[in-house]
């Protein structure tokens, strides 16, 4: 290689080294510039604005402490209620000659009788018994052991037992039912203790507003001392048509089966309602629960602990639309008051001459604004007292004086109290081994039995004379030994006149038979 070539390669290598250094230097400068720019941008984003106010988070203790303090205060006053009921399994029909082996399978009246008499019972067969248990809640309102709960919690229970919050799981106290009220579904029970019990304070439910915080305390699904929180969603909610005394506080505090009878509590730790019902398609909490207002609870409680242990409400025996309808007012030519839709036969209103279409505008000179106003006024009056009604008929104002009646007796059938409060309707057990009761108009109509005729067999004792001769539950007894039987008293009177060894012939309309099917004789010799 000559000197020229050698010099060329030397220069080339030197230039390549210089180029490499130049490229590396350029890259380094670029990276540094990018980093500086990046820091510059981030620095601008992080700068504090001069007009911005810093945000703050409120202390969590305030709300938490309020709820926990109320819970600690009220929980000792809330009790778990366990009830036991014995349901007598009614005697099944015994097949008569010519009938299929299991006539109930083909009897269209079976479902009706099962509902009326409480069903056929379980697998135990004739004369068996089913033990039912239910759970509920209650709240102590008197240190002497008086507890408020729901009527449906203790209704028809053979045994009611109460467990206090501090009681061991094995300890329960027997409770006595002091009184119940169908209209408001309230009950008062009492346990005997050798020491004062922690009683809850009742508040004024009228002071509650929609949106106020509330707590529900009780034993849902048997889980005692459970606390849920929510707000008052609505006031004065009516969920059962025609029940003027069931105007509820609606809440979204979780209420489930077992919460019934427990308290709804405000932020002052006062009971402002008794949890009573939920609105759901699944029998579980769906966000809507109802509590009976404490103001109503106090009125009912004070009467239930009285000498008669029952709630007495006045009534004049009229019915009307629960909600005001402008069209009714326009057609009947009135601007206010309550237009009568029905008058109970024999009621004070009927005796005073009031008729359907009359509009009551005042009671003793005080203006009546609506149906609830009228009911509240009359219900608070004692049965036997008098009141002057002002009403409009055909555009003319008139007055009438009425004598207030007892609402429970006047509307006994509609309130479902005929079985409890009417002596004429109480089942009477006979030595024939049957329990009979008078036919109500509804049952007589369903069975196509002439009004005022016959008694219905409610139950047949296993191994009794009646069972031996083939008398069945649901049969209608029209005669005994040719003597008409038109009431339970007739049945008892005739039965008491018969002695051992005498022949007994019942004229019976068999269960499920219509008038066109006729009657049959069922007979035997009394043992």
Q: What pLDDT, on a 0 to 100 scale, did the predictor assign at position 407?
A: 85
Which has more confidence, 231 or 321?
231
Tell me the three-class secondary structure of 233-255, residue by residue: EEEEEECCCCCCCCEEEEECCCC
- Domain 422-525 maps to which CATH number in 3.40.50.11600, 3.40.50.720, 2.30.42.10, 3.40.190.10? 2.30.42.10
Q: Find out whether 149 and 81 touch, Cβ atoms under 8 Å.
A: yes
pLDDT of 240 strictly over 80? no
Options 71, 205, 260, 430, the catalytic residue: 260
Does the structure show a pLDDT above 60 at 420? no
Asked if 132 and 264 touch (Cβ cutoff 8 Å), the reply is: no
Q: What percent of the chain has pLDDT over 90?
A: 37
Instruction: Please write the tens of the pLDDT for every residue from 247-298.
Output: 899 999 998 888 999 999 999 999 999 999 887 777 677 889 999 999 999 9
- Contact (Cβ atoms closer than 8 angstroms) between residue 319 and residue 411: no
Domain boundaries along the sequence of the chain: 76-91+127-311, 314-412, 422-525
Q: Please report which confidence band the pLDDT of residue 29 belongs to, taking 50, 70 and 90 as the band edges.
A: low
Beta strands in 37-164 (DSSP E): 78-88, 129-142, 146-150, 159-163
Return the pLDDT at 169: 82
Catalytic residue among 152, 219, 459, 487: 152
Q: Give dist(CA 90, CA 130) in Å, integer.
A: 11
Tokens linked to 321: 């639309």
Q: Which tokens go with 338?
A: 């309550």
Compute the average pLDDT of residues 105-132.
43
Handedness of CA 386, 387, 391, 396 (dihedral sign): positive
Q: Write down the mean pLDDT value for the chain.
A: 79
Query: What is residue 269's predicted lDDT score, i.e. its pLDDT?
Result: 94
pLDDT in tens, 393-402: 988 999 999 9
More confident residue, 92 or 379: 379
Chain centroid to CA 53: how far? 52
Alpha carbons 51 and 35: distance in angstroms, whole number = 30
β-pair type (226-238, 213-218)? antiparallel
Task: Domain 76-91+127-311: state its class.
Answer: mainly beta
Q: Classify residue 427 by burial, with Cβ atoms within 10 Å: 0-12, 13-18, 19+.
A: middle
Q: Which residues contact 498 (CB under 8 A, 6 or more apart)?
A: 481, 504, 526
Higher-confidence position of 209 and 65: 209
Structure tokens at 449: 């039995």
**pLDDT level of residue 7 (50, 70, 90 thresholds):** low
**Fold: same for 76-91+127-311 and 422-525:** no
Average pLDDT over residues 122-129: 44
Mean pLDDT confidence for 243-250: 78
Decide: helix, strand or coil at residue 428. strand
Q: Name the burial class of residue 42, with classes exposed (0-12), middle (13-18) and buried (19+) by CB atoms within 10 angstroms of its CB.
A: exposed
Contact 435, 492 (CB under 8 A): no
Please report the pLDDT score of residue 65 as a whole number. Answer: 75
Average pLDDT over residues 492-497: 90
Note the pLDDT of residue 514: 62
| 117 has pLDDT over 60 | no
What is the per-residue pLDDT across 439-472, written as a single tens digit (0 to 9) for each?
Answer: 877 777 777 777 778 888 888 887 789 988 989 8
Residue with tokens 């005697």: 91
pLDDT(510) > 90: no
Residue among 181, 185, 252, 475 flagged as catalytic: 185
- Does residue 482 have a pLDDT over 80? yes
Rounded CA separation 472/430 (Å): 14
pLDDT, one tens digit per residue, over 314-358 is: 999 998 876 677 887 787 778 888 899 888 888 999 999 999 989
**Higher-pLDDT residue of 194, 122:** 194
Counting runs of H as helices and runs of E as strands, what totals does the chain give? 14, 28
pLDDT of residue 113: 40
Please indicate whether residue 260 is annotated as part of the active site: yes
pLDDT at position 213, please?
Answer: 95
- The mean pLDDT value for 18-22 works out to 57
Q: What's 314-412's CATH class?
A: mainly beta
- pLDDT tens per residue, range 128-176: 455 557 789 999 999 999 999 999 999 888 899 999 988 888 899 999 9
Residue 77 pLDDT > 90: yes
Q: What is the pLDDT of residues 301-320, one digit of tens each?
A: 999 999 989 888 899 999 88
Cα–Cα distance list, 400 to 316, 349, 353, 378, 485 (Å)? 12, 9, 8, 15, 41
More confident residue, 55 or 58: 55
The whole-number pLDDT of residue 125 equals 43
What CA–CA distance (Å, rounded) separates 520 from 523?
A: 10
Q: What is the pLDDT of residue 107?
A: 45
Mapped onto helix, strand or coil, the DSSP state of residue 503 is strand
Contacts of the segment 491-496: beta carbons below 8 A, 24+ positions apart: 491/428, 491/430, 491/436, 491/455, 492/428, 492/430, 495/430, 495/431, 495/432
185 counts as catalytic: yes
pLDDT at 486 over 60: yes
């Amino acid at each position: 290689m000559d000197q020229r070539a050698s010099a060329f390669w030397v220069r080339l290598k030197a230039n390549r080294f210089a180029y490499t250094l130049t490229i590396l230097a350029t890259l380094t400068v670029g990276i540094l510039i990018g980093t500086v720019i990046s820091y510059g941008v981030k620095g601008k984003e992080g700068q504090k604005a001069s007009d911005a106010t810093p945000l703050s988070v409120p202390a969590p203790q305030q709300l938490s402490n309020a709820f926990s303090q109320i819970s600690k205060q009220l929980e000792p006053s809330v009790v778990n209620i366990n009830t036991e009921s014995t349901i007598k399994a009614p005697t099944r029909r015994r097949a008569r000659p010519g009938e299929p082996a299991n006539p109930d399978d083909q009897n269209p009246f079976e479902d009706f009788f099962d509902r009326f008499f409480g069903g056929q019972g379980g697998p135990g067969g004739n004369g068996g018994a089913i033990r039912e248990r239910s759970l509920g809640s209650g709240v102590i309102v008197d240190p002497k052991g008086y507890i408020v709960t729901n009527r449906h919690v203790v209704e028809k229970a053979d045994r009611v037992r109460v467990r206090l919050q501090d009681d061991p799981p094995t300890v329960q106290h027997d409770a006595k039912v002091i009184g119940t009220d169908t209209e408001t579904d309230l009950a008062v029970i009492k346990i005997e203790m050798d020491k004062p019990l922690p009683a809850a304070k009742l508040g004024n439910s009228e002071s509650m507003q929609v949106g106020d915080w509330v707590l529900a305390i009780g034993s849902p699904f048997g889980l005692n001392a459970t606390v849920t929180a929510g707000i008052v969603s609505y006031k004065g909610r009516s969920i059962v048509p025609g029940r003027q005394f069931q105007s509820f506080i609606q809440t979204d505090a979780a209420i489930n089966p077992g919460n019934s009878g427990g308290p709804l509590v405000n932020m002052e730790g006062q009971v402002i309602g008794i949890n009573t019902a939920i609105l759901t398609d699944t029998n579980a909490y769906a966000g809507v629960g109802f509590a009976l207002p404490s103001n109503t609870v106090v009125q009912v409680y004070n009467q239930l602990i009285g000498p008669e242990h029952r709630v007495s409400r006045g009534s004049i025996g009229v019915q009307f639309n629960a909600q005001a309808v402008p069209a009714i007012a326009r057609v009947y030519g009135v601007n206010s008051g309550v237009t009568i839709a029905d008058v109970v036969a024999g009621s004070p209103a009927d005796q005073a001459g009031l008729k359907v279409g009359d509009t009551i505008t005042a009671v003793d000179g005080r203006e009546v604004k609506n149906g609830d106003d009228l009911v509240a006024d009359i219900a608070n009056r004692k049965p036997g007292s008098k009141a002057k009604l002002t009403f409009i008929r055909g555009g003319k104002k008139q007055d009438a004086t009425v004598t207030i009646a007892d609402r429970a007796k006047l509307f006994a059938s509609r309130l479902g109290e005929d079985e409890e409060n009417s002596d004429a309707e109480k089942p009477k057990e006979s030595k024939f081994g049957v329990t009979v009761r008078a036919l109500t108009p509804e049952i007589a109509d369903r069975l196509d039995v002439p009004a005022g005729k016959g008694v219905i067999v409610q139950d047949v004792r296993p191994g009794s004379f009646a069972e031996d001769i083939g008398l069945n539950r649901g049969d209608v007894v029209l005669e005994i030994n040719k003597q008409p039987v038109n009431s339970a008293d007739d049945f008892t009177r005739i039965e008491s006149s018969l002695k051992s060894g005498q022949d007994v012939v019942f004229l019976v309309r068999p269960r499920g038979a219509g008038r066109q099917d006729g009657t049959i004789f069922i007979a035997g010799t009394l043992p």
